[in-house]
Amino acid sequence: MDKKTLLELKKKAVRVRKHILDEVYSAQSGHPGGSLSSTEIFTYLFQNEMKLDPANPKWMDRDRFVLSKGHCAPGLYASLAVRGFFPEKDLTGFRSIDSYLQGHPSMKDVPGVDMSTGSLGQGISTAVGMALAGKLDKKDYRVFTLLGDGEIQEGQVWEALMSAAHYKLDNLTAFIDHNGLQIDGKISDVMCPEDVVEKFRAFCWNVIQIDGHDLEAIEAAVQAAKAIKGKPTMIVAETIKGKGVSYMEDVAGWHGMAPDEELYKKAIAELDEAMALLEVE
Amino acid sequence: MAEKIATRQAYGDALAEFGVDESIVVFDADLSKSTKTATFEKKYPERFFNMGIAEANMMCAAAGMSTCGKTVFASTFAIFAAGRACEQVRNSICYPNLNVKIGATHAGISVGEDGASHQMLEDIANMRALPNMVVISPADAVETRLAVKASIEHKGPVYLRLGRLNVPVIFDETYKFEIGKGVELKSGSDVTIIATGLLVHEAITAFDILAEKGISARIVNMPTIKPIDEDIIVKAAKETGAIVTAEEHNILGGLGSAVCEVVAEKCPVPVLRIGTKDKFGKSGKPALLMKEYELTDEDIVKKAEEVLKLK
Ligand SMILES: Cc1ncc(C[n+]2csc(CCOP(=O)(O)OP(=O)(O)O)c2C)c(N)n1
Ligand SMILES: [Mg+2]
């Protein structure tokens, strides 16, 4: 991507992060940590990559996205709003009784959500089904899905990986947000699934490891995935949970906790500062 | 004796028959020869996907594919469809109300020799509690074919409860099936037997035994457990004053429970339930198991006589 696009995307990423904070702060619940670690992935896909029509969210030939780690709905909703699927001002209704923005993604309620998720391990399987349908219908849409590194402890994920490789779903690209943390602490302490790169390779996936906060690296990986024939691609994105908010970074406690007013203001101030730096670039 | 065909066989045949519709896709989990989806596979190999022994993934992949405009039939044994993958069915199929049909074969104790691990006796209870789910338990091959057709026409999740055993064909070409409708097979005024699946045939033979004893029994076939036909239940309660339910399922949560819910709220009369009594099955010849678990026409007769005393 050119410099201008990159700068625009970086600004959008900050905008998405601010929205995530707004959503979780207004709901006083929700999941900031994993939403923030996935922000560049969300931003690249929704603002630069996916063929979508916000005016026609169910357009049959669109690219699909399944948030397999459904708890990161704040990041997804922010990205959909920034892309124009619904007004950004609706985001603060997140998780409230009058809002369509359910705590976890609901495809029947939220425009642009392609699959209802929240139960870890299921989303990637639904993405396999979508990719299989694309092959069956000889359509050229692509299917993207995003998993957590804790999520892959679910056995179903490996069933899905096996089936995607078996059916040679090269129209499927999965991301794993490799932030090293889950609810109860470090992945390596709770239940260590490493070496993930070797495991995905052993499941016959094309595996690309990148810095998950580097938009250009994400772009390069997605383009490489498109060029690979006969294999699905897993992009292992090395990230920092809570990225962009100093006190949340790499702290397991911010997985599913909302900041109080003081900490919220601090986070917004940090993000405003990040935006100001981008403005002068 | 009428011709005998297993409902799973009729299911496979119906898939092959209605499979001309190109939006129909069939998934199986390494049981296609048993669930009879192999019949569809033979005819439409490009629209058949074996997902391997991975039922959780299969249910969710079916959900994903259905969002792309397909009517997906996902098949495996009932124990794995409604047991192993129950939460996948709930969250990925029922919650988003997707067009996935679950063809669950080998339901009930009539599985026989395989024993308790394979005899699903709780599936109606599990599936009926899920919002958006339609639960159908056909009684014979004719009804199965019509249920498959109706499932294709219905937009949304359907659970088809099918059996392994060859069972008598009860209905002929004139039989009409509609989702949510019970069917009065025999009229009667003393007691109503409401049966589903394999037990419908037993109820019909029980009718003759009861008639010999001077008891006039109404026989109702209840193929759809959800949405249940409230009208036919209330009518039976009002007109016959006593009900016996009969199913090859735990007495907790199945047809018997569904009927009791309606009767208790709309028109209380005595109801007695035939079903497995909250215990697991075991290995054996199906006919012997049906006897041991008190699921025969004789058992229906006994329960009918008992319920009359409660009137
Ligand atoms: C099947 C299932 N089990 C448990 C949970 C509860 N849960 C929500 S998020 C989470 C941890 C996820 O960690 P990870 O996948 O690493 O996500 P991230 O770090 O990206 O937020 C758990 C256990 C769930 N949503 N689904
Ligand atoms: Mg994690």
ipTM given for this complex: 0.95
- Summarised one tens digit per residue, pLDDT across range B101-141 is 999 999 999 999 999 999 999 999 999 999 999 999 999 99
Cβ pairs A/B, distance under 8 A: 109
The answer on pLDDT for B168 being more than 70 is yes
Q: What is the pLDDT of residues B17-55, one digit of tens each?
A: 999 999 999 999 999 999 999 999 999 999 999 999 999
Which chain B positions have a beta carbon within 8 Å of A60's beta carbon? 68-69
Query: Where in the sequence of chain B do the CATH 3.40.50.970 domains occur?
Result: 4-168
Q: Dump pLDDT digits (tens) for A228-251.
A: 999 999 999 999 999 999 999 999
Per-residue pLDDT at A222 exceeds 90: yes
* d(CA B115, ligand 1 centre) in Å: 36
Residue A200 pLDDT > 60, yes or no?
yes
B69 contacts in chain A (CB < 8 Å): 60, 133
Strand, helix or coil at B207? Answer: helix
Distance (Å) from CA B251 to ligand 1 centroid: 37
Average pLDDT, chain A: 98
CA distances from residue B88 to A63, A120, B106 in whole angstroms, order as listed: 24, 10, 20
pLDDT, mean of residues B143-161: 98
The 3-state DSSP class for residue B54 equals coil
CB within 8 Å: A163 and B61: yes
What is the identity of the amino acid at A120? Answer: L
* CA A254 – CA A245 distance, rounded (Å): 10
B61 interfaces chain A, CB cutoff of 8 Å: yes
Q: List the one residue out of A167, A181, A92 whose CA is nearest residue A130.
A: A167
Q: Report which ligand 1 atom has the smallest distance to the Cα of A34.
A: 21
Handedness of CA A132, A134, A140, A144 (dihedral sign): negative
Residues touching ligand 1 (Cβ under 6 Å) are A 33-34, 37, 69, 71, 118-121, 148-151, 177, 179, 181-183, 241, 255
Cβ atoms of A122 and B88 closer than 8 Å: yes
Please say if the pLDDT value at position B1 is more than 60: no
Indicate if the alpha-carbon torsion angle B16, B18, B24, B30 is positive or negative: negative
Name the nearest CA neighbour of A155 among B54, B51, B60: B54
A155:B60 CB<8 A: no
Q: Write down the CATH superfamily of domain B4-168.
A: Thiamin diphosphate (ThDP)-binding fold, Pyr/PP domains (3.40.50.970)
Q: How confident is the model at residue B248 (pLDDT cuts 50, 70, 90)?
A: very high
Q: Which of B52, B64, B91 sits opposite A130 (nearest CB)?
A: B64
Cα–Cα distances (Å) from A140 to A22, A128, A130, in that order, read 36, 15, 12
Query: Which residue's alpha carbon is at the smallest distance from atom 18 of ligand 1?
Result: A34
Query: Is residue B55 flagged as an active site residue?
Result: yes
**Counting every residue, how long is chain A?**
281
Cα(B88)–Cα(B130) distance, integer angstroms: 11
- Residues B223 and B157: their CA atoms lie apart, in Å, by 16
User: What are A144's strand-pairing partners?
Assistant: A65, A173
pLDDT band at B2 (very low <50, low <70, confident <90, very high): confident
What would the 3-class secondary structure string for chain A be? CCHHHHHHHHHHHHHHHHHHHHHHHHHCCCCHHHHHHCHHHHHHHHHHHCCCCCCCCCCCCCCEEEECCHHHHHHHHHHHHHHCCCCHHHHHHCCCCCCCCCCCCCCCCCCCCCCCCCCCCCHHHHHHHHHHHHHHCCCCCCEEEEEECCHHHCHHHHHHHHHHHHCCCCCEEEEEEECCEECCEEHHHHCCCCCHHHHHHHCCCEEEEEECCCHHHHHHHHHHHHHCCCCCEEEEEECCCCCCCHHHCCCHHHCCCCCCHHHHHHHHHHHHHHHHHHHCC
> Pick from A192, A194, A196, A213: which is nearest to A205 by CA?
A196
**Nearest-ligand number for the alpha carbon of A153:** 1
Closest residue by Cα to residue A15 from A107, A95, A84: A84
Q: Which residues of A touch B (CB under 8 A)?
A: 60, 64, 66, 106-108, 114-119, 121-123, 125-134, 136-137, 155-156, 159-160, 162-163, 166-167
CB contact under 8 A, A133 and B70: yes
**Interface contact flag, B70 A156, Cβ < 8 Å:** no
Ligand 1, atom 22: closest residue by C-alpha? A183
Centroid of ligand 1 to alpha carbon of A74 (angstroms): 14
Tell which CATH classification among 3.40.640.10, 3.40.50.720, 3.40.710.10, 3.40.50.920 matches the domain B183-308.
Answer: 3.40.50.920
Residue A29, domain extent: 3-280
Residue A86's pLDDT is 98
Q: For B193-218, how does the pLDDT look when each residue is reduced to its tens digit (9 = 90+)?
A: 999 999 999 999 999 999 999 999 99
**Into how many domains does chain A fold?**
1
- Indicate the top mutation candidate among A182, A188, A251, A257 to test ligand 1's pocket, ranked by most ligand atoms within 8 A of CB: A182
Inter-CA distances, A30 with A33, A98, B93, B122, Å: 9, 16, 24, 35
Residue A270 φ then ψ, to 5°:
-65, -40
Convert the pLDDT of each residue in A113-135 to its tens digit.
999 999 999 999 999 999 999 99
Alpha carbon distance A26, B250 (integer Å): 47
Give the distance from residue A60's alpha carbon to the nearest chain B alpha carbon, in angstroms: 7
Question: How confident is the model over B89-108, as a mean pLDDT?
Answer: 98
Say if B91 is an interface residue toward chain A (CB within 8 Å): yes
Catalytic annotation, pick one of B41, B55, B143, B202: B55
Which chain B residues are within 8 Å of A160, Cβ to Cβ?
Answer: 57, 60-61
Please report, for the domain that includes residue A57, its CATH number.
3.40.50.970
**B67-90 tens-digit pLDDT:** 999 999 999 999 999 999 999 999
CA distance linking residue A175 with residue A234, whole number of Å = 6
pLDDT score of A46: 98
- Residue A253, C-beta contacts closer than 8 angstroms, at least 6 positions apart: none
Instruction: For residue A234, count CB atoms less than 10 angstroms from its CB and return exposed for 0-12, middle for 13-18, buried for 19 or more.
Output: buried
What is the per-residue pLDDT across B265-298, written as a single tens digit (0 to 9) for each? 999 999 999 999 999 999 999 999 999 999 999 9
